[in-house]
Amino acid sequence: MIVLGFYKYVEIDNPNRLAESLREICNKQFYRGTILVSNEGINGSVSSNRQNTDALRKFFSDDSRFSDMFYKEEETYGEHPFKKMKIRIKKEIVRFDFDVDLKNRGDHISPDQFLELYDKDGNLKENVVLLDTRNDYEFEVGRFRGATHVNLKTFREFTKKIDLNELKNKKVVMYCTGGVRCEKATAFVKEQGIKDVSQLNQGIIQFGKEHQKSVWEGKCFVFDKRMVSPMNSEGEPVSNCYICGTSSDFLRNCRNVDCNRFYVSCPTCEEKLNKCCSKECQKIVDKPKDAVA
């Protein structure tokens, strides 16, 4: 099974027409995942066998708007990591709630150039600020050594929570899972007057394919049923069980649908609380269906 990730910011005059064409290609019998289409571009992650993912790549390569689009591939085994195939029209391919000119986005640096941010002992060099633009639960289970998190619950909080004063006269480098969020984040920071701004090209997943055992610590959160991608299978967990504090990198959703928070659990607490993040949520989940509210 191939998990294929891709995005491109490009003007799309008729997102509905493109979405309909994609629905014809991505037969629900063979594909799973999500593709977002917008006037500003496309953002997707799908799973299928090699033959089908190659067919999807050919569909895009035959369209001049996407002929140079980059693809991130991961191999997985067993069932699809996604529940179903969804193709949706959105205002933005990643929600930011702030208008930026993507022509102002930061320079893209390769994984090799990214490693040059560190000294021979694996520490960030002086005057470098490495910003993780992902959500808090993503940062918790894995991050680059020395990275600073902006303490985001959602990406659209970035413009309100970033401390621009801390970035003045610094070399600012950002990263996210695949790169799509950093395109907007770097453009915003540059438009606020910060000059030396760049991003890790194609994000964490691609870096892990080229430099698995280096400056990455923990695992990488992914938005599918796997929850995490190993990145460095020999690495020790960098996070702890939310309930008991035991070292763990097992991430899951709280079973209480009204809570649905992402949290790190150990196997013992997962079983003890019936896959819930707290005793309060467990009581709701275990409550008899015919009980009076």
Q: Active-site residues: which are they?
A: 176
Count CB neighbours of 13 within 10 A.
8
Residue type present at position 256: N
Structure tokens at 56: 């999807």
Closest CA to 247 of 279, 218, 212: 218
Closest CA to 208 of 89, 100, 73: 73
Closest CA to 31 of 60, 2, 8, 59: 2
Q: How far is Cα 46 from Cα 4, in angstroms, rounded to an integer?
A: 5
The whole-angstrom distance between residue 133's C-alpha and the CA centroid of its chain comes to 9
Structure tokens at 113: 């150039």
CB 240 within 8 A of CB 246: yes
| Tokens 């022509």, located at residue | 103
Q: Which helix (H) or strand (E) holds 143?
A: strand 142-144
Phi and psi angles of residue 234, each rounded to the nearest 5 degrees, phi first: -90, -5
